[in-house]
Amino acid sequence: MAGSRRRTGRPRSAAADRAILDATRSALVELGWGRLTMGDVALRAGVAKTTLYRRWSNKNEMVVDAVAVLFDELELPDRGSLRADVEGVVLSFAELLERPETKTALMAVVAEATHDEALRARIRAAIVERQKRLVVEGRRRAQARGELPPDPPGPRGAAEAARAVDLVFDVIAGAVLHRCLVSAERVTPVWAESLTTLLLHGLTAGAPQPVPSRPS
Amino acid sequence: MAGSRRRTGRPRSAAADRAILDATRSALVELGWGRLTMGDVALRAGVAKTTLYRRWSNKNEMVVDAVAVLFDELELPDRGSLRADVEGVVLSFAELLERPETKTALMAVVAEATHDEALRARIRAAIVERQKRLVVEGRRRAQARGELPPDPPGPRGAAEAARAVDLVFDVIAGAVLHRCLVSAERVTPVWAESLTTLLLHGLTAGAPQPVPSRPS
DNA sequence: GTCTTTCGATACGGCCCGTAGCGTAACTCA
DNA sequence: TGAGTTACGCTACGGGCCGTATCGAAAGAC
């Protein structure tokens, strides 16, 4: 379907696509979300405003596409240990989030998504689900090294593993995001190390534990 | 200074203040951030639009004030153990964040704050710094119970304790926020328990730890 | 009673959104 | 090569909202 969509007529300009998305990101940096206008993006891209509306139905959808590709540059090179891998991904994610276009656009789009189901789905597919690969990969490596226990067998084990991945993803991404955007403080290597230690060993590391955890 | 600010003339209507902030919250629920207009808020509040602009210079500042009070309802009753306290605050915070006016407004305001230093400061003062009290209190109780080691003495110990509070706050608030708003999944009691276990004992709980943590 | 400030109401310039219409450019197919 | 089809740049437009100005009336302070 996607391949045979348009077989005749003048094709869409791929150069215009790139110019528009680039212009959107640079406008986000300079103006922020509230002052970003479609007319301005068109002007920066050297393109007519109508060309924007032929591709996206509104500002939100355009910005999601402009920002989603930024997250794809996240990588997880094998740094040899679970600790090093976690610290690495924390710092990479923070570096990404400290770029003005990323932080501005991500928050604005998430805000709009709170009352727009279609946009919520677009975010989940374009960003969240795609980046969970980092956690899956880091976890797999740690299990291979013996730093984490292997997944239990069977479908129950797989479901449990999926829940663990979701949890770790929310904790790491959430902590970095909150630190950068809500608390508005920088993510330093020292902070990344502290976060990693907390994740690996917990709050109670090095302390007596007089209160046993209750079974569920 | 604040007390003797205005000594003559007609005083500001406290009823109007309340009506405006209530109207702002209800408009956020129904319309979301993008469609919320000052004229509409004035209409809902039964107030002239000029009355809004006498109190706040723009939409962002008004919404921060409308939302900040919601966070003050967070409490931390002593549930008898660190585990129970953490689970409790996670669930309370999630309940707050799942209210439409909270999630919409918080994200929108944070997005605007990425390129507005004054707004960033307002958020930090009105929300972040005020809610850290929950972590400080929970930590103090846990230390009294012997679940956490006491703070080292001296100014260095105090600084270290402050960093620990900041870290735990970012991790807990960030995880809940990311789960609710970015991943767009519900915070269930089961999830809260998993998060608490992770926070208390870390990823490596129950697994061998071949890689020792390096001292800093 | 006078002074000061807020209030509601109305009007306004300005900016932006999203769409429509037009002539032209680019590409496909016969 | 020529006809058909689609994208493009340009311009213009109605409509909505922002933030401000202006006015007379109301509400307290002195």
Written as six digits, the tokens of B123 are: 């958020």
User: How many domains is chain B built from?
Assistant: 2
User: Which of B60, B83, B106, B107 is best to mutate for the A interface (most A CBs within 10 A)?
Assistant: B107
User: Which of B211, B214, B216 is best to mutate for the A interface (most A CBs within 10 A)?
Assistant: B211
- In this complex, which residue's CA is closest to the C1' atom of nucleotide D30? B8
Residues A144 and A71 in one domain: yes
Low-confidence ranges of chain A (pLDDT < 50): 1-4, 206-216
A83 in contact with nucleic chain C (CB within 7 A): no
* CB B20, CB B45: distance < 8 Å: yes
CA distance B133 to B82: 15
Please check whether residue B3 lies inside any domain of the structure: no
Give residue B2's pLDDT.
37
What CA dihedral angle connects A134, A138, A143 and A146, to 10 degrees?
Answer: -170
Written as six digits, the tokens of A153 are: 């067998």
Residues B120 and B156 in one domain: yes
Give the residue among A146, A139, A196 at the shortest CA–CA distance from A164: A139
CA distance B79 to B83: 9
Q: Could you say which nucleotides of strand C lie within 7 A of any protein CB atom? A: 3-11, 15-21, 25-29
Give the residue among A83, A198, A66 at the shortest CA–CA distance from A147: A83
Q: What string of pLDDT tens digits covers the 216 residues of chain B? A: 334 455 688 899 999 999 999 999 999 889 888 889 999 999 999 999 999 999 999 888 898 889 888 888 888 899 999 999 999 999 999 999 888 888 888 888 787 787 778 778 878 888 889 889 999 999 999 999 999 999 999 999 999 999 999 999 999 999 999 999 889 899 999 999 999 999 999 987 644 444 444 444
Tell me the residue range of the domain where A122 lies: 67-201
What CATH number is given to the structural domain containing B76?
A: 1.10.357.10
Q: What are A177-196's pLDDT values in tens digits?
A: 999 988 989 999 999 999 99
Tell me the pTM.
0.83
In order, the DSSP letters of B155-206 are HHHHHHHHHHHHHHHHHHHHHHHIIIIIS-----HHHHHHHHHHHHH-TTTT
Out of A111, A206, A216, closest to residue B193 by CB:
A216
Range B67-101 burial, b when 16+ CB lie within 10 A, else e: bbebbeeeebeeeebbbebbbbbbbbbbebbeeeb
Residues B50 and B106 in one domain: no
Please check whether residue B210 lies inside any domain of the structure: no
Residues B49 and B86 in one domain: no
Please check whether residue B216 lies inside any domain of the structure: no
User: Which one-letter DSSP state was computed for residue A47?
Assistant: S
Residues A35 and A141 in one domain: no
**For chain B, percent of residues with pLDDT exceeding 70:** 91
Residues B132 and B161 in one domain: yes
CA distance A196 to B147: 21
Amino acid type, A185 = E
Q: What are B126-141's pLDDT values in tens digits?
A: 888 988 999 999 999 9
Residues B81 and B37 in one domain: no
CA distance B171 to B177: 10
Give residue B6's pLDDT.
57
Q: Do B198 and A168 touch (CB under 8 A)?
A: yes
Cα dihedral sign for B166, B168, B174, B180? negative
Residues B46 and B112 in one domain: no
Please check whether residue A208 lies inside any domain of the structure: no
Please check whether residue B19 lies inside any domain of the structure: yes
User: How many Cβ atoms sit within 10 Å of the Cβ of residue A64?
Assistant: 22
Please check whether residue A6 lies inside any domain of the structure: no
In order, the DSSP letters of A123-152 are HIIIIIHHHHHHHHHHHHHHHHHTSSPPPP
CA B43 – C1' C8 distance (Å)? Answer: 12
Residues A28 and A135 in one domain: no
* CB B104, CB B161: distance < 8 Å: no
Residues A121 and A149 in one domain: yes
User: Which one-letter DSSP state was computed for residue A214?
Assistant: P
Give the residue among B128, A27, A113, B70 at the shortest CA–CA distance from B119: B128
Residues A49 and A143 in one domain: no
Residue with tokens 């004229």: B39
Please check whether residue A149 lies inside any domain of the structure: yes
A11 in contact with nucleic chain C (CB within 7 A): yes
What CATH number is given to the structural domain containing A49?
A: 1.10.10.60
The closest nt to B42, taking CA to C1', is C8
Please check whether residue B215 lies inside any domain of the structure: no
**How many alpha carbons fall within 13 Å on the CB side of residue A194?**
20
Residues B140 and B90 in one domain: yes
Give residue A37's pLDDT.
96
